[in-house]
Amino acid sequence: MTLDKLVPGQSGIIEKIDGQGALRRRLLDMGLTPNTLVRVRKVAPMGDPIELYLRSYVLTIRKDEASKITIKGVEK
């Protein structure tokens, strides 16, 4: 499952980051690394962007970026 499929309140553990080059590096630099617990806090009214909570901070990313992040262990 990918991160963009989660609804607010759901959480999961990042399994891998797809993509290449600058986008992948940017996601990793923002703390979206494998084995990190991430929770979806909010989704904008039109569905983009997504607000996440991870590593004791809030991060907002676009839905197309979230689709490149594979997660496991989804729980409500």
pLDDT in tens, 32-76: 999 999 999 999 999 899 999 999 999 999 999 999 999 998 877
Domains in the chain with CATH codes: 3-75 (2.30.30.90)
pLDDT score recorded for residue 74? 80
**Count of residues making up the chain:** 76
pLDDT score recorded for residue 15? 95
d(CA 69, CA 32): 8
- 46 token code pair: 């039109």
- 3 token code pair: 């991160």
pLDDT score recorded for residue 47? 86
pLDDT score recorded for residue 20? 87
**pTM of the predicted structure, to 2 decimals:** 0.87
Question: Cis omega before residue 49 (within 30°)?
Answer: yes
Taking each continuous run of H as one helix and of E as one strand, the counts in the chain are 2, 5
pLDDT for 11 beyond 90: yes
Type of residue numbered 13: I
d(CA 61, CA 72): 19
